């Protein structure tokens, strides 16, 4: 369960971008966030992933909790290890690596269980199993999108 409460985010100490943002993502459910360009969707995702610092932004109010534990003191990699993973928009894969190498990178944080991660990914996206040794940059159609999603899914610590 992800709980966001009354979030306020400021860029460059002065630009107030998020104010009073609250939402819950219960376990096993899908929550969609809609908004016009510039309304702050990306900023919220940066806050969830602990990436505000690197964009000169700051959480000035509110809290984010993952399964009851606040994330304010967690580094981005610790947040990933707790299961918050972003699937980037577009066809962003490591294009010079093979499908399987991409999946192994996606599963980096659970490297001891990488075989399970690969099996799950191939189970969900059988076409990726057929193409496991193909160079990811040459994938066509929906394959790169599936690969990104599978690689993000492989990145779970449990």
Residues contributing to the site for ligand ADP (CB under 6 A): 11-12, 15, 17, 35, 37-43, 55
With respect to ligand ADP, which residue has the nearer C-beta, 12 or 73? 12
**CA 55 to chain CA mean position, Å:** 17
- Mark the segment that binds Mg ion (CB under 5 A) among 34-42, 46-54, 112-120, 134-142: 34-42
> Do 81 and 111 form a contact (C-beta atoms < 8 A)?
no
- Which entry of ligand ADP, Mg ion, none binds 145, CB below 5 to 8 A by partner kind? none
- Which entry of ligand ADP, Mg ion, none binds 39, CB below 5 to 8 A by partner kind? ligand ADP
Closest contact distance (angstroms) between CB of 76 and Mg ion is 18
With respect to ligand ADP, which residue has the nearer C-beta, 52 or 143? 52
- Sole binder of Mg ion in the list 8, 42, 98, 129 (CB under 5 A): 42
- Which entry of Mg ion, ligand ADP, none binds 68, CB below 5 to 8 A by partner kind? none
Radius of gyration of the chain (CA): 17
Locate the DSSP E strands across the chain.
2-11, 15-25, 57-66, 69-70
Taking the C-alpha atoms of residue 22 and residue 3, their distance in angstroms, rounded to an integer, is 8
Closest contact distance (angstroms) between CB of 105 and ligand ADP is 26
DSSP bridge pairs for 103: none
> Do 130 and 138 form a contact (C-beta atoms < 8 A)?
no
Q: Report CA dihedral (43, 46, 51, 54) to the nearest 10 degrees.
A: -30
Closest contact distance (angstroms) between CB of 55 and ligand ADP is 4
Locate the DSSP E strands across 26-108.
57-66, 69-70
Closest contact distance (angstroms) between CB of 125 and Mg ion is 26
Residues binding Mg ion (CB under 5 A): 41-42
């Amino acid at each position: 369960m992800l709980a966001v409460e009354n979030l306020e985010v400021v860029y460059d100490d002065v630009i107030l971008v998020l104010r009073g943002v609250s939402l819950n993502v219960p376990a096993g459910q899908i929550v969609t966030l809609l908004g016009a360009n510039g309304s702050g969707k990306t900023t919220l995702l940066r806050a969830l992933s602990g990436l505000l610092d690197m964009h000169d932004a700051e959480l000035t109010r509110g809290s984010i909790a993952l399964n009851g534990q606040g994330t304010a003191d967690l580094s981005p990699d610790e947040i990933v290890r707790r299961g918050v993973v972003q699937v980037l928009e577009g066809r962003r894969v490591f294009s010079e690596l093979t499908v399987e190498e991409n999946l192994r990178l996606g599963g980096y944080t659970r490297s001891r269980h990488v075989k399970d991660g690969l099996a799950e990914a191939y189970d969900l996206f059988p076409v990726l199993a057929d193409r496991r040794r193909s160079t990811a940059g040459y994938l066509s159609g929906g394959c790169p999108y599936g690969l990104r999603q599978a690689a993000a899914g492989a990145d779970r610590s449990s």
